[in-house]
Structure 1
Amino acid sequence: MKQRKTKSLKFMRKISLAIAIFISLWSFSQEKIDGIAAVINEEIIIQSELKAQFEEFKRQNFGVETECAALEGIMQEKLLIAEAKKDTLITVNDRSLKPQVDEMANGAISRYGEEETLKLYGFATLQELRQEILKNLQEQSYSEQIRAKITGGVDASPVEVNNFFREYESQLPNVEEEIELSQIVIKPKLTEEHKQELKDKLLEIKKEVEDGASFATMAIVHSEGPSSVDGGMLANTKRGQMVKDFEAVAYNLEEGEISEPFETEFGFHIAMLEKRRGEILDLRHILLLNKPNEEEMKKAKELADSIKAKIDQGVLTFEEAVKEFSGDKNTRLNKGVVADPRTGNTRFVRTNLPTNLYLEVTGVDENGITSPFEDTIGRDEKVYKIIRVDKIIPAHKINLKDDYERIKKFAVNKKKQEKIDEWAKKHVSENFIKIDDDYKTCDFKLDWLH
């Protein structure tokens, strides 16, 4: 009985995307010396991938007790991906995944260095690494979309939440100390002189292109945007996919025309329209980021210090300061309240906060505010922040009174997993499945050996 319940709680946690992808990347480097555990249509499960994920499941206490159980979980995921690829209503936009590819690749490189990263994951070039990351992100997107399709509309009533809590109370995790925060974000302002320097550099680049240089090559050399590795290419671009200032320029260009330098929230650009098909554009651009210099950062710090002083003196409320000075569009219209962009949740486990933020709020009581400190947002944009600790929720044993929404989420996730299990049971026989002899004695829940 205990083993059954432990397995049924697999819905409580999910391996992080980053961990899953880098396990897969490491497994890719082992393919030549490794065996295949299972094949679902064209989806292959390498033995090293299985073993690495099983170890990660154990480390994070997923309740997956055997390698066979881990294999079945991975096979179900591969089955979802295989079926999603057949569904004409499920599509994956590679361009929308590109920022994540850049973030993950650059993160690994900044941590290990380029040469060591390629050696670690078994790739000859950065392009190969990026392609494999993209492939994994594509599969993640397919999985998320088909899961949403299968479990759409699933909810849990108050009675179901209560029943769930009574059944699983002893197995539900205790709640760690959480914290709610608000912020004022002060963005340094570039001087007019600094802005003109960036425009002049772009004008020089534009002249080189007009004199015969390749725009793509100049983008690779000079652009500081994520598309630089692709020669600044933004292919199949539609209205609504670009920030308004960029879109206004792009849609006024003729094919082959290069724009004058223009400014967006990211910095200064020049753009060249390569091809137009109605409202769909293929264009290239070069971006010079609006990175503040030392003097501009100093002025931003002085402004942040003056705001902090006014709040301390009662001249300005925190909310008034957010409205007047904060440069973060995600929190400015919400009185500075910080929320998880994926879930909307405003509570954060204190120990999961980024190190610099954790240190800044340590020792700050409820309704207290930090001194201004330097931080980064977005794509390493330097800013100064003032943080207010709105609420501290002490660590406690999970209960219905304080944690109803958390428990409801567990209950809903359980129902969703049950729906996915039912779906998988119906689709197993419709797919080509081959399992290595080493795993044919596993006691699977589904008939994978049909």
Structure 2
Amino acid sequence: MKYMRLIKCLFFGLLMGALPFSSFAQSDAVVVDKIVARVDNHIILLSEVENSYQQMLMNGQVRGSESDSKCQILEQLVINKVMLAKAEIDSVEVDAGQIDGQMEQRMRYMVMQYGSEEKLEEVLGTTVTELEEELREEVREQTLVQTMQGQIINGVRITPKQVEEYYNTIPRDSIPFLAGEAIVGQIIIEPTVSDVENEKARQKLDAIKERIEKGEKFEDLAKLYSEDYGSARQGGDLGWHGRGELVPEFEEVALTIEPGEIADPIKSEFGFHLIQLLERRGNRFHSRHILVRPQPNNDDIKRAEAEMDSVRNLLVADSITFEQAAKDFSDDQATRGNGGLFSDQTTGSAWVATDQLDPVIFFTIDTMSIDSYSTPARYRLEDGSQAVRMIYYKDYKKPHSANLKDDYQKLHSATLNNRKGEIFQEWLKSARNDVFIDIDPEYLECDLLKDL
């Protein structure tokens, strides 16, 4: 439906804004960059359209002809510029700290992609400082667009009657056929690391600190020993942060030591940190660290297995509900707040398509009966540490055509998106009267102004 496409345009357009601008060749000809659209004082370049089209090709997102795809891309870019222009007319503002945070995330990502700031500068032929200056206005514009988008469609609510009416507008031969779905949960218990293993981790960082004090470079040792693999490649550099952004134990140290100082190892929920403050501006600080995660030994894991056995016995005896058991015993923050159950990322429903489940979980429940619990098994967490996991297979729905009784949550989500599309379309028509839009004659066949 047209309204659904507009919402997709909105989000895809925001994504395209994060791409670097460059010109691509068509056939053997060299593309000479030019302005293809104006929205008030904002321009859209041919290179933006070409670059986005190439990205769509690489991602396998092109549907239809090249000309239709480029018209869609230009429409998305124009819609973004309309929101930007309207935000400026309406004096919509964004917090400077929000822009700083977005800049920091983007720069950190780019440095990680290239391996180091030096490699990034070498490849792009510019300094990191110059690159930040070039990107800041782009990030400000994107943040403004996101804020404007929120003002337009956030807070939209729909009623059950609207869901039913939307469902009834779908032609019977167009009702989607849904894959099999299951309600599945898990409880994860992370072994309590013994004092012996904790002390080993602390002593390891003490030894690393001593090596730094004798002349070795912090960043070199971070690359060698830090178990925060994201920052390790950057020499332990975490970038700039403010209060409430990192764990309290880390912040307390970073906000009290002096620039250049290396604190004694401290412990947080992630492990032991060796922290060096690089710079501080008010309540914001730039730091780096070396993280060592104490690992449970075999006896620690056996104790966790015994605890999980006890939890399973309570469940089998109906002495506790799975929801309560997850709340009381599970260390998995992702599912604990949802009663231990996985949820559909789009609708938030506990019914998850079986083809979206982790393959290990899918094959585990394939051997289980409904309303049963797996035997506890050792499980490796994303950070590589050991834990113990138990799976709960609560219910299953066979593949079927969508209907109000079984798929209300999915239909509610579709109805909500459709309503947001309608509201956005209404806003766009109104905003069209407040902004000037000019399209290059080459793209008039796209008929963009008719949709706007």
TM-score class, shorter: 0.7 to 0.9
Paired with 2:111 and 2:206, the residues of 1 have a C-alpha distance of 31
TM-aligned CA deviation for residue 387 of structure 1: 1.2
Corresponding position of 1:167: 169
Helix, strand or coil at the partner of 2:373: coil
Within 5 A, what are the aligned runs for 1:192-271?
192-225=195-228, 226-271=230-275
Paired with 2:100 and 2:381, the residues of 1 have a C-alpha distance of 24
TM-aligned CA deviation for residue 161 of structure 1: 2.9
TM-aligned CA deviation for residue 388 of structure 1: 0.5
TM-aligned CA deviation for residue 183 of structure 1: 0.9
Paired with 1:385 and 1:276, the residues of 2 have a C-alpha distance of 42
> For the Cα contact (< 8 Å) 2:202–2:265, is it kept in 1?
yes
Paired with 2:140 and 2:267, the residues of 1 have a C-alpha distance of 32
Corresponding position of 1:351: 355
416-425 or 301-310: bigger deviation: 301-310
> For the Cα contact (< 8 Å) 2:241–2:286, is it kept in 1?
yes
Paired with 1:51 and 1:87, the residues of 2 have a C-alpha distance of 33
TM-aligned CA deviation for residue 270 of structure 1: 1.4
Corresponding position of 1:415: 419
Corresponding position of 1:46: 49
Corresponding position of 2:313: 310
Paired with 1:134 and 1:227, the residues of 2 have a C-alpha distance of 23
The 1:428–1:382 alpha-carbon spacing in structure 2 relative to 1, beyond 3 Å, is: farther
> For the Cα contact (< 8 Å) 2:190–2:331, is it kept in 1?
yes
The 1:431–1:445 alpha-carbon spacing in structure 2 relative to 1, beyond 3 Å, is: closer
For residues 145-177 of structure 1, what are the alpha-carbon distances to aligned partners after superposition, in whole Å with 9 as ceiling and x for unaligned?
A: 332111133222344333322223444523332
Residues 1:10 and 2:5 are matched in the alignment: yes
TM-aligned CA deviation for residue 432 of structure 1: 7.7
Residues 1:184 and 2:179 are matched in the alignment: no
The 1:280–1:328 alpha-carbon spacing in structure 2 relative to 1, beyond 3 Å, is: same
For residues 255-313 of structure 1, what are the alpha-carbon distances to aligned partners after superposition, in whole Å with 9 as ceiling and x for unaligned?
A: 443221112121210112344444333333222234557x4786378447735863686
> For the Cα contact (< 8 Å) 1:203–1:260, is it kept in 2?
yes
Corresponding position of 1:89: 94
Helix, strand or coil at the partner of 1:386: strand
Corresponding position of 1:327: 331
Helix, strand or coil at the partner of 1:89: coil
For residues 374-402 of structure 1, what are the alpha-carbon distances to aligned partners after superposition, in whole Å with 9 as ceiling and x for unaligned?
A: 55555555533211122223332222333
Residue identity opposite 1:331 in structure 2: T
Paired with 1:181 and 1:196, the residues of 2 have a C-alpha distance of 38
TM-aligned CA deviation for residue 79 of structure 1: 4.3
Paired with 2:103 and 2:269, the residues of 1 have a C-alpha distance of 21
TM-aligned CA deviation for residue 360 of structure 1: 2.2
267-276 or 302-311: bigger deviation: 302-311
Paired with 2:142 and 2:300, the residues of 1 have a C-alpha distance of 39
> For the Cα contact (< 8 Å) 1:175–1:397, is it kept in 2?
yes
Residue identity opposite 2:93 in structure 1: T
Within 5 A, what are the aligned runs for 1:141-156?
143-156=145-158
> For the Cα contact (< 8 Å) 1:11–1:410, is it kept in 2?
no
Corresponding position of 1:72: 75
Helix, strand or coil at the partner of 1:322: helix
Residue identity opposite 1:283 in structure 2: S
> For the Cα contact (< 8 Å) 2:186–2:390, is it kept in 1?
yes
For residues 23-72 of structure 1, what are the alpha-carbon distances to aligned partners after superposition, in whole Å with 9 as ceiling and x for unaligned?
A: 957x869479657694563554232523653885566x9xx976534532
Segments of structure 2 that go 5 or more residues without pairing to the other structure are: none
> For the Cα contact (< 8 Å) 1:179–1:349, is it kept in 2?
yes
- Give the alignment's TM-score, normalised by structure 1: 0.72
Paired with 2:386 and 2:85, the residues of 1 have a C-alpha distance of 42
TM-aligned CA deviation for residue 433 of structure 1: 6.1
Helix, strand or coil at the partner of 1:310: helix
TM-aligned CA deviation for residue 442 of structure 1: 1.6
> For the Cα contact (< 8 Å) 1:366–1:392, is it kept in 2?
yes
Paired with 2:284 and 2:60, the residues of 1 have a C-alpha distance of 44
- Give the alignment's TM-score, normalised by structure 2: 0.72
Residues 1:360 and 2:364 are matched in the alignment: yes
TM-aligned CA deviation for residue 352 of structure 1: 1.3
Corresponding position of 1:157: 159
Segments of structure 1 that go 5 or more residues without pairing to the other structure are: 1-5
Q: CA RMSD in A?
A: 4.8
Residue identity opposite 2:275 in structure 1: A
The 1:53–1:90 alpha-carbon spacing in structure 2 relative to 1, beyond 3 Å, is: farther
Paired with 2:215 and 2:110, the residues of 1 have a C-alpha distance of 35
Corresponding position of 1:3: none
Helix, strand or coil at the partner of 1:402: coil
TM-aligned CA deviation for residue 94 of structure 1: 5.4
